[in-house]
Structure 1
Amino acid sequence: MEKTLLVVQGPTGIGKSSLSIKLAKHFQTEILSADSRQLFRGLSIGTAVPTPEELSQAPHHLIHSHSIHDDYNASRFETDALDLIAKCFDKLDVLIMTGGSMLYVDAVCKGIDEQPDVDLEIRKKLTDDFEEKGIEHLRLKLKQLDAAYYQQVDLKNPKRLIRALEVCLMTGKPYSSFRKEITKKRPFNILKIGLNMEREKLYNQINQRVDQMMEAGLEEEARSIYPFKHLNSLNTVGYKELFAYFNGEVSMEKAVELIKRNTRRYARKQLTWLRKDQDIHWFEPHQLKEIITFVAQNLTA
């Protein structure tokens, strides 16, 4: 049988982890996490890491594998994930990859363009500029240095703007010149499953999950990492809103409301991204039998 990477995608809070565990048990395989925050130790409740009981039902990879102090990105994930996939396929015919970090999933399925390493001094200068002068300063600078990428980038995302600008300043070349966007050929088959449901139902699930996280101790977890709030790994929905509460900027009630709102916004952003991928086959989370049948029919001998 040809080796197959089964990719389970969908918006946050829809049940990717639960479904993936059921699929892993059925196909007697393992799970590779493609979540850019679940890989950090100390971030469990706020990143919805599967419970110990769930983790015991199927072997998982790249969960709590790194320190919050590590400078981790999609390029490193591509390298680590491909190495793990190769090792898993020595003993397995099917491997499941799931997670809500779309860039990480694309890094494995399509590949990341080769780009210069980070210059920490340039990044610090750009970060300081952002904090002092605001995001409009970054936008204008990018428009001047790389008008082509300026037309494509999410102009509300300071991390993307800073990354593009640091490449421009480091190399003297437009960031867009490094973005070949050529899909790399992988030595395994890739089968993509997408999960979706009625929007109102999804939003209700997200709101309920945030309440459950608070009951499970999210505030205490956030306090334990608060001294490191400046780290990029902690610039994450669920933590940054509580950091604002700890700083006295908002009430606890407002912080929880913001977590729910920002999580719903992130879910919308994920769905917008995923709908552009014509290779995804869509199901609802409850359609386990249909998904199993579909996967089985598409495993190539």
Structure 2
Amino acid sequence: MRIILLGPTAAGKTKLSLLLAEELNTSIISADSRQCYQHLNIGTAKPSPQELEKVAHYNISLLDLEEEDSAMEFQKRAAKWEKEILKNADHVFYVGGSTLHIQSLIQPFNDMPEANEENIAKLENRIDAEGIESLYGMLKEIDPEYIHKMDGMNTQRIIRALDVWMQTGKPFSSFHNQGEIQPDKDTIVFGLKWPREKLYDRINERVDGMIERGLIEEVKSILDAGHPKDLQSLNTVGYQEIIKYLDRKWTLEKAVEKIKTSTRRYAKRQMTWYKRWDFIHWLDADEMSAEEMKEEVLNRLN
């Protein structure tokens, strides 16, 4: 049985997932698009070293910051991990909030062409001449559905989507959605829900906690190690804002407020996306404790 636990950022997925994984005697595969990178610890709310010791995790600190990744690459890795986990367990347990990563588990992507270097060079030249906003506007006309899924103005994803369109004449999102999305009989999906204002309060508290735990120092150590600021891995809420602070473009107060605002917007997009999926078994995280939600999930599985 494949179990998927999803929910917006700061919903409390980590705590519940650890309880469930221990109860089910299985591992956790992170379906998060940034926890797979090394050094991105605080800003991605990666499980702590103690939590990673308690339950085996996959897709955590797997890639170098310079490596590019995608939901399709995640899908390929996950297929291998599932086979490995099921040798010793009855359940495969995914936890995350990245919509395309979750969707790739429920409805595997169709094959799409490899990157075309000539197209990429043309697109990069256009960025140099006109700015990324030019390509963003182009993609918005060609593929508004994919624009809605993206986490901000992600240069690498914009280039990739336009490259695929240039090669095939098809929107990038068409490779992700073919027909109605429904999990197979061996997959069950649970989701954590909160009243919007309470979720936003949790997000604000989480961001303040990240700053207290050393997010600024984390970003500074990454840049001091020589990593470029425009890496795909760093084009992420939390990191870009702190980079602007370190570059003295923003005050710390402004950077923190921008992180909170962008994270709240991201959570809203996540929930909007999840509402399209009527197969999610929702757990009321505002009314139930983690232990109570654990029991609810176990009852559904039996």
Partner of 1:260: 260
- Distance in 2 between the 1:116 and 1:9 partners? 29
Contact 1:110 1:182 in 2 (8 A): no
Deviation at 1:179, TM superposition (A): 5.5
Deviation at 1:158, TM superposition (A): 5.3
- Distance in 2 between the 1:140 and 1:65 partners? 33
- Distance in 1 between the 2:183 and 2:170 partners? 28
TM-score by length of 1: 0.87
Deviation at 1:47, TM superposition (A): 0.6
Partner of 2:79: 82
- Distance in 1 between the 2:178 and 2:94 partners? 22
- Tell me the C-alpha RMSD between the 2 structures: 2.5
Q: What letter is aligned with 1:152?
A: E
Find out whether 1:244 has 2:244 as its counterpart: yes
Deviation at 1:240, TM superposition (A): 0.2
Partner of 1:150: 143
Fraction of identical pairs, as percent:
36
Partner of 1:24: 21
1:179 to 1:60, Cα distance in 2 relative to 1, 3 A: closer
Q: 2:293 aligns with which of 282, 291, 294?
A: 291
- Distance in 2 between the 1:38 and 1:151 partners? 27
Q: What letter is aligned with 2:143?
A: Y
Moved over 6 A (4+): 183-188
Alignment of 1:1-301 (within 5 A): 4-130=1-127, 132-134=129-131, 137-138=134-135, 141-142=138-139, 149-154=142-147, 157=153, 159=155, 161-169=158-166, 171=167, 173-175=169-171, 178=175, 181-182=178-179, 189-226=186-223, 227-285=227-285, 286-299=288-301
TM-score by length of 2: 0.87
Contact 1:135 1:158 in 2 (8 A): no
- Distance in 1 between the 2:256 and 2:136 partners? 31
1:174 to 1:248, Cα distance in 2 relative to 1, 3 A: same
- Distance in 2 between the 1:167 and 1:104 partners? 19
- Distance in 1 between the 2:168 and 2:103 partners? 27
Secondary structure at the counterpart of residue 195 of structure 1: strand
User: How far does the alpha carbon of each residue in 1:251-277 deviate from its partner, in whole angstroms, 9 at most, with x for none?
Assistant: 111111111111111111111111111
Q: What letter is aligned with 1:89?
A: L
- Distance in 2 between the 1:187 and 1:198 partners? 30
1:184 to 1:84, Cα distance in 2 relative to 1, 3 A: farther
Deviation at 1:115, TM superposition (A): 0.6
Deviation at 1:125, TM superposition (A): 3.4
Consecutive unaligned residues in structure 1, runs of 5 or more: none
- Distance in 2 between the 1:239 and 1:139 partners? 21
Contact 2:143 2:171 in 1 (8 A): no
Contact 2:97 2:270 in 1 (8 A): yes
- Between the two proteins, the alignment pairs up a number of residues equal to 292
Deviation at 1:72, TM superposition (A): 1.2
- Distance in 2 between the 1:197 and 1:184 partners? 24
Contact 2:182 2:279 in 1 (8 A): no
Secondary structure at the counterpart of residue 202 of structure 1: helix
